């Protein structure tokens, strides 16, 4: 009998639907067992977020504040039929949209986060100026208050959960984010998304306005700015590390290979950099550089990267020791799926490692990527629900990857 597929009109998930999404289908369709090929769920949907939490090291998600005061998982400034999310009650949002409370009530999402050392990047979205919620140019106070309300709701929702200090970051393009966080008295960790992207206009218009900021702020300078304001990490565009555009920035040019990678490692000193979009062609290079990859490709059926290596989706929460890494890297392409399946069953997740095994991994990573924080601090952040900030991860963008036309 076929395993039930997800019906997107249902905001919750049946147990069967969650299992279907979580099942690694690395060998492709198996019609003899009734297993269907993996289908990517809509971005930021509960199904997508559960999938991302279960198959990778964590998820990135977007939250907006609905008219009835609910946090809803939705990225775009408008729905596909032209409505502003901030002007709609949560119940009138598109059918696949879930609330933050619904998300936290789903064990398939929270258990990996609380008990499996997964990571969550929570992006708070600013309303479109035409929504009437914050206004246009002279709207600093209104935007601050909007952010404050959202931060307080996130705090309130997470308070009953024992989430590790180094397992969650809240960030936003909103320049008033840190002011709002201080006003809310939040104990969460915050970071600004830069360059600043306006909450209105097409993608092309947003990029045009952001270009001067991009040129003026090299990646080393961005890291310095984030450190100075107490941010625990830097969210960064791939353009800073890959392609010709990285040469446009004023200051030290960094990259993923050769001297530019050496520059990056020395300047970074372990400061966490989360890179998007982490395209499959650069995924292995990002991980080899000790960075975190925010990926739009989270299909469990993808077992070989465009660069030829076998793909491992949990480099942090199910880390490979040198022997296991060699087994993965030496596998012939036609054997990638079977070797990945073997390793998934024989490699212990981070939460099951002994203190001595965790120490061994941390010592290796600290030496390899020149982490500057002392070893005891790193160990103190290592628990069932958290890992040190510096750890290199794969994070599912908007859960299971971006989908177009679903918000």
> Is pLDDT of 15 > 50?
no
pLDDT tens-digit readout, 174-209: 999 999 999 999 999 999 998 665 565 666 665 666
Rg (CA), the chain: 21
Tell me the HSE value of 285 on the side-chain side, using a 13 A CA sphere. 18
pLDDT tens-digit readout, 279-334: 999 999 999 999 999 999 999 999 999 999 999 999 999 999 999 999 999 999 99
Q: Are 131 and 82 in contact (CB under 8 A)?
A: no
The range of the structural domain enclosing residue 52 comes to: 44-397
Q: Whole-model pTM?
A: 0.88
- How sure is the predictor about 4, in pLDDT bands with cuts at 50, 70 and 90? very low
Sequence-separated contacts (24+) of 134-141 with Cβ below 8 Å: 140/176
Residue 111 lies inside a defined structural domain of this protein = yes
> Is pLDDT of 397 > 90?
yes
CA distance 151 to 337: 42
DSSP-assigned letter for residue 269 = T
Residue 1 lies inside a defined structural domain of this protein = no
DSSP string, 45-83: SHHHHHHHHHHSSEEEEEEEE-TTS-EEE--SSS-TTS-
> Is pLDDT of 11 > 60?
no
> Is pLDDT of 6 > 60?
no
Instruction: Look at residue 239 and give its three-state secondary structure.
Output: helix
Tell me the percentage of the chain whose pLDDT exceeds 70. Answer: 86
Cα–Cα distances in angstroms (integers) from residue 365 to residues 7, 290, 354, in the given order = 42, 8, 17
Tell me the HSE value of 4 on the side-chain side, using a 13 A CA sphere. 9
Residue 209 lies inside a defined structural domain of this protein = yes
Q: Which of the listed ranges 32-41, 136-145, 183-192 does the model predict with the highest average pLDDT?
A: 183-192
> Is pLDDT of 32 > 70?
no
What confidence score (pLDDT) does residue 249 get?
81
Q: Which range (5-9, 134-138, 271-275) has the least confidence?
A: 5-9
CATH number at residue 256: 3.20.20.190
229-239 CB burial, b ≥16 within 10 A, e <16: eebbbbbbbbb
Mean pLDDT of the chain: 88
What confidence score (pLDDT) does residue 138 get?
53
The number of distinct structural domains making up the chain is 1
DSSP string, 80-112: TTS--GGGS-GGGS-TT--BHHHHHT-HHHHHH
Which of 251, 255, 252 lies closest to 241, judged by CA?
255
The residue-averaged pLDDT of 105-126 equals: 96
Residue 64 lies inside a defined structural domain of this protein = yes
Residue 50 lies inside a defined structural domain of this protein = yes
């Amino acid at each position: 009998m076929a395993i039930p597929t997800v019906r997107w009109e249902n905001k919750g998930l049946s147990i069967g639907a969650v299992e279907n999404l979580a099942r690694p289908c690395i060998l492709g369709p198996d019609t003899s067992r009734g297993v269907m090929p993996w289908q990517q769920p809509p971005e930021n949907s509960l199904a997508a977020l559960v999938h991302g939490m279960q198959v990778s090291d964590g998820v990135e998600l977007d939250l907006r504040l609905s008219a009835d005061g609910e946090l809803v998982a939705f990225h775009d400034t408008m729905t596909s039929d032209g409505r502003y999310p901030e002007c709609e009650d949560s119940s009138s949002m598109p059918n696949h949209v879930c609330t933050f409370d619904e998300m936290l009530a789903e064990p398939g999402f929270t258990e990996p986060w609380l008990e499996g050392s997964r990571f969550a990047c929570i992006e708070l979205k600013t309303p479109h100026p035409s929504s009437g919620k914050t206004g246009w140019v002279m709207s600093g106070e209104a935007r601050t208050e909007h952010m404050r309300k959202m931060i307080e709701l996130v705090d309130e929702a997470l308070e009953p959960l024992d989430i590790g200090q180094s397992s969650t970051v809240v960030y936003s393009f909103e320049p008033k984010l840190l002011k709002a966080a201080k006003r809310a008295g939040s104990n969460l960790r915050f970071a600004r998304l830069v360059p600043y992207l306006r909450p209105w206009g097409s993608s092309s218009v947003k990029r045009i306005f952001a270009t001067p900021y991009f040129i003026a702020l090299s990646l080393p300078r961005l890291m310095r700015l984030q450190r100075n304001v107490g941010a625990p990490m830097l969210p960064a565009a791939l353009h800073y590390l890959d392609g010709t555009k990285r040469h446009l920035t004023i200051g030290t040019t960094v990259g993923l290979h050769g001297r530019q990678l050496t520059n990056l490692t020395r300047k970074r000193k372990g400061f966490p950099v989360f890179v998007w979009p982490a395209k499959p062609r650069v995924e292995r290079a990002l991980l080899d550089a000790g960075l975190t990859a925010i990926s739009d490709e989270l299909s469990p059926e993808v077992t070989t990267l465009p660069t030829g290596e076998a793909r491992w989706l949990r480099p942090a929460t199910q880390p490979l020791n040198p022997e296991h890494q060699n087994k993965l890297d030496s596998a012939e392409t036609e054997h990638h799926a079977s070797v990945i399946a073997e390793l998934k069953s024989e490699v212990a997740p981070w939460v099951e490692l002994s203190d001595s095994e965790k120490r061994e991994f941390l010592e290796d990573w600290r030496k390899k990527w020149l982490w500057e924080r002392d070893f005891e601090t790193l160990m103190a952040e290592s628990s069932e629900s958290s890992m040190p900030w510096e750890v290199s991860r794969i994070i599912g963008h908007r859960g299971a990857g971006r989908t177009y036309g679903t918000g």
